[in-house]
Amino acid sequence: MEAIITASRLAHDLTADAPPVLLDIRWQLSMAAASGAPAFDGRAEYAAGHIPGAAFVDLDRELASAPGKRGRHPLPDLAEFGAAMRRAGVSADRPVVVYDGGQGWAAARTWWLLHWTGHPDVRVLDGGLAAWEGPLSTETPEPAEGDFRPVPRETGLLDAAGAAALARSGVLLDARAGERYRGDVEPIDPVGGHIPGALSAPTNENVGPDGRFLSADELKARFASLGALDGTQVGVYCGSGVSAAHQVLALAVAGIPAALYVGSWSEWSADPSRPVAVGPDPQ
C-alpha cells in the first residue's frame, strides 16, 4: 500500500466512480496561551475553503483524548474515534485520503491512527492543501455513514517503558527540533531534553523546500545514517505524538516499519522519576 499520494493523482481519483473518502485535518501546534495570540481554528480554515467533498476532522477532539498525565495528545477513545470516522464516511472497503494545511503532521496522525486500527488503504496528500491546484469549496458535505470499526494492531504502538527499552535495543528517534532535543529550550513541556539513548531526527528534514517528502531513496539513506537498517526495530516520539507520526509516515515511504510512542515527551517529562538526557549526546 502506498502511504502518500500526489495532488494530480488525487484529482484523477476523485473523478472515479468510487472516489476515496477525503478528510481535512487542518491543525497547528498552538502557542496562543503563551503569546496571547488567537488560537488556530482549523474548522474556520476548512469553512473558508477545502478540497470539494472533504469532511473536517478535529484532531484535538476526535484524534486524541483530553491532555493529562498520558500526554498532550493521548490516544483517543477508540469507540469515539470510530464514530467520528464513520460520521466522516470512512468505510473499511473504501480508500481514504487525508490532508492538512501543508505541514503534514496532523494528516500523518490521522493516517497512523487509521492504519494502526486496521484500515487497509489510507494515504496522505503529499504537500497538503498547498499542493492542491484544483478548485476549493465552501460547501459542507453530508457523507453517508461509513462502516469502519477500529481494531488495534498488535504492533506499531509504544508506551513509555517500550520506548525506553527500544532506545537500548534498537533505534528510537526524537522527531522534535534539535534545540528541544538538546534541552536548550522547552516552550511547552515541564522539562527540556530527551529520552536517554534517543537520536535526534527532526521531522522537518523529511521534506524538501516545497513541503513534499524527499524521495524514498533519500529518506532511506537519511534513516540508514541514523541506524535504521533492515531488521532493526525503530520507534519515534516527539512532543505529543503528532509530528512523530509524520516521521513514521516518512519511514513508511522509505519502506521501514516503525512504532509510535504516542505519549511522547509530554508524557515522559510529566513523571519526575523518569531519566532525562540533555545536550547533543544521546545518553
Q: What is the pLDDT of residue 264?
A: 98
Q: What is the pLDDT of residue 125?
A: 98
pLDDT digits (tens, 9 = 90+) for 56-106: 999 999 999 999 999 999 999 999 999 999 999 999 999 999 999 988 999
Strands, sheet with 199-200, edge to edge from the N-terminal-most edge strand: 157-158, 259-261, 234-237, 171-174, 199-200
Share of the chain above pLDDT 90, in %: 91
Q: What is the pLDDT of residue 28?
A: 83
SS3 112: helix
Q: Residues 99-115: what's their mean pLDDT?
A: 95
Torsion of CA 73, 79, 82, 88, to 10 degrees: -90
Gap between the Cα atoms of 197 and 184, Å rounded: 18
Residue 32 has pLDDT above 50, yes or no: no
DSSP class of 165: H
Q: What is the pLDDT of residue 33?
A: 47
Output the pTM of the full model: 0.95
Gap between the Cα atoms of 118 and 160, Å rounded: 23
pLDDT digits (tens, 9 = 90+) for 253-262: 999 999 999 9
Q: What is the pLDDT of residue 275?
A: 97
Q: What is the pLDDT of residue 37?
A: 65
Gap between the Cα atoms of 24 and 238, Å rounded: 22
SS3 90: coil
Q: Among all residues, which ones are annotated catalytic?
A: 238
User: Under a CB-based contact definition with an 8 Å cutoff, are residues 277 and 283 in contact?
Assistant: yes
pLDDT digits (tens, 9 = 90+) for 175-227: 999 999 999 999 889 899 999 999 999 999 999 999 999 999 999 999 999 99
Gap between the Cα atoms of 75 and 98, Å rounded: 18
Residue 31 has pLDDT above 60, yes or no: no
SS3 118: coil
